[in-house]
Amino acid sequence: MDFRYKTHFKATPGQNGATKGMTGRSAEDLVIKVPEGTTVTNTETGQIVADLTEPGQELVVAEGGRGGRGNIHLRLQKSCTRNCRKW
Which residues touch 19 (CB under 8 Å, ≥6 apart)? none
Q: What does the domain layout of the chain look like in residue ranges?
A: 1-87
Segment 15-27, tens digit of pLDDT? 766 666 666 667 7
Three-class DSSP category at 48 = strand
Segment 26-61, tens digit of pLDDT? 778 788 888 899 999 998 999 999 999 999 898 888
**pLDDT given at position 82:** 59
